[in-house]
């Protein structure tokens, strides 16, 4: 995960559940510009640090899958503005 350009987190607060990994990822985000997309209805530390935080409402699993598929299919470099446009969301 440390060498990835894009980290997609679905329904998890990595900062609480995996603090060691989160500190490594935070360093990569700071030094290499790694991008984070978090899909979670809750607001938490990982979501606050994410480039994009999508708070899905209960029962929107199809929307979550669409977002995840689009994020994973994104292959032309990772920049938050382009990713938002591709996923069809605003800031």
Residue 84 pLDDT level (bands cut at 50, 70, 90):
low
pLDDT score for 29: 86
Asked if pLDDT for residue 27 goes beyond 80, the answer is yes
Long-range CB contact pairs, 50-58, < 8 A, 24+: 50/9, 51/80, 51/83, 52/80, 52/83, 52/84, 52/87, 52/89, 54/87, 54/89
Mean pLDDT, rounded, for 32-58? 84
Within 10 A of 69 (CB to CB), how many other CB atoms are there?
A: 10
Q: Which residues of 18-29 are buried (b: 16+ CB within 10 A; e: fewer)?
A: eeeebeebbebb
Asked if pLDDT for residue 3 goes beyond 80, the answer is no
pTM of the full predicted structure? 0.65
Angle 6-49-57 (CA atoms, 0-180°, nearest 5)? 85
């Amino acid at each position: 995960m440390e060498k990835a350009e894009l980290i997609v987190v679905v329904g998890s607060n990595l900062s609480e559940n995996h603090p060691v990994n989160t500190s490594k990822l935070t360093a990569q985000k700071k030094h290499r510009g790694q991008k984070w997309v978090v899909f979670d209805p809750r607001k938490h530390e990982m979501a606050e640090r994410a480039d994009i935080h999508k708070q899905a409402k209960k029962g929107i699993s199809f929307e979550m899958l669409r977002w995840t598929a689009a994020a994973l299919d994104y292959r032309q470099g990772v920049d938050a503005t382009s990713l938002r446009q591709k996923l069809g969301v605003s800031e």
